[in-house]
Structure 1
């Protein structure tokens, strides 16, 4: 007589944020970004998984390329409605506010993995 041993691992449960809008307005800024934008932008880019020095490219040209590309990337990753034209305008004329908004969105959409049914040993 043979017996079958079945082992079930707990499955991760993730909270999904279904909103297709930004979690905060463009003008909800913080003092750190206002007074030291380059430091704040570099930290935000690093947390997003990009090169730490990427925002330093923004000093070249009329439209800040790093701010613009990060905002477009974040909209696509999180499924946020918007246009590249609006992203370009915000990146060009509201750069500190754009970095603040992206930082808040990353914190808001951080998906925590919670194991259900796991026993402490």
Structure 2
């Protein structure tokens, strides 16, 4: 029986995901109910979205500090890093400061587009 000697081991293949873009623009509204909910009950919408992203439910309530809402800014940066979205910190600052509800809607749409489970209401039985 002849044996075969391996002279060279296979090399690891490292695949790096290409930078991506947001799946929707800041003002795009694909779900009218969610857009209305974000405008008329913004704190609730932001808290639910933060919870679905894996953060503390009450974290967005700290946004009243400073000129640029720090939690909205941090959530946008976190989402960009998680999904490898190529965008600028300057855009995050502007959207967080001047387009709060639209920014949170965009983040929620992004989670849905990436297959992240989202729910506006938690239905627990049992």
TM-score by length of 1: 0.74
Would you tell me which structure has more strand in proportion to its own residues? 1
Distance 2:114 2:19 in 1: 10
TM-superposed CA distance for 1:61, in Å, is 1.2
For residue 41 of structure 1, report the CA deviation from its aligned partner. 0.2
CA drift at 1:82:
0.5
CA distance in 2, matches of 1:64, 1:71: 11
- Structure 1 portions without partners, runs of 5+: 1-16, 113-121
Mapped to 2, the partners of 1:44 and 1:28 lie a distance apart of 17
1:82 matched to which residue of 2?
A: 87
The equivalent residue for 1:13 is none
Q: For residue 43 of structure 2, what is the aligned residue in structure 1?
A: 38
Structure 1 stretches of at least 4 aligned residues deviating more than 4 Å after TM superposition: none
TM-score of the aligned structures, taking structure 2 as reference length: 0.71
What secondary structure, in the 3-state scheme, does the structure 2 residue paired with 1:34 have?
helix
Could you say which residue in structure 2 is the equivalent of 1:58? 63
Match of 2:8 in 1: none
The one of the two structures with greater contact order (alpha-carbon pairs below 8 A, sep at least 6) is 1
Q: How many residues align?
A: 96
Tell me if 1:104 matches 2:112: no
* Distance in 2 (alpha carbons) for counterparts of 1:58 and 1:99: 12
Cα distance in 1 for partners of 2:83, 2:57 equals: 21
Equivalent-residue separation in structure 2 for 1:107 and 1:24 (angstroms): 11
Aligned equivalents of 2:78, 2:72: Cα separation in 1: 10
Partner of 1:69: 74
